Structure 1
Amino acid sequence: MNKQELVMMEFRDLFNKMVWLNKNKLEDSLKGHKPSEVHCMEYIEKNVDPNVTKLAESLYMTKGAISKLTKKLMDKGLIECYQKPDNKKEIYFRLTEKGKEIYDIHEDLHHEFQERDKVIFEQVTQEQYESMLSFMKKYSQHLDEEIKKRGIGIN
Structure 2
Amino acid sequence: MNKDEELSAIFNRVTERHQLIKEMELKKYRFMSENTFLEVHCIDFIEKYPDSNVTKLADALRVTRGAISKTTKKLLEDGAIDKYQKTGNKKEIYFKLTDIGRRIYGEHEKMHQARVVQDQIFFQNLNEIEKDHLIKSLSKIYHEIAVELKNLGLENYI
- TM-score (norm. length: structure 2): 0.70
Larger deviation, residues 83-92 vs 71-80: 83-92
Other structure's SS at 2:82 match = strand
- What's the counterpart of residue 131 of structure 1? 136
1:64: how far off?
0.6
Structure 2 CA distance for aligned equivalents of residues 89 and 18 of structure 1:
45
Larger Rg: 2
Relative distance call for 1:86 and 1:25 in structure 2 (3 A) is same
Q: Which moved more, 1:69-78 or 1:137-146?
A: 137-146
Judge which range, 109-118 or 67-76, deviates more: 109-118
Q: Which amino acid aligns with 1:52?
A: V
Letter in 1 for 2:67: A
TM-score (ref. length: structure 1): 0.71
For structure 1, list consecutive stretches of 5 or more residues without a partner in the other structure: none
Cα distance in 1 for partners of 2:83, 2:55 equals 14
**Aligned residues: CA RMSD:** 3.4
| Higher deviation after alignment, 126-135 or 49-58 | 126-135
> Aligned in 2, Cα 1:14/1:40: closer, same or farther, shift over 3 Å?
farther
Distance (whole Å) between structure 2 residues aligned to residue 50 and residue 133 of structure 1: 32
Asked if 1:22 is matched to 2:22, the reply is: yes
1:113 matched to which residue of 2? Answer: 115
Aligned length: 149
> Is contact 2:50-2:96 (8 Å) kept?
no
For residue 84 of structure 2, what is the amino acid of its counterpart?
Answer: Y
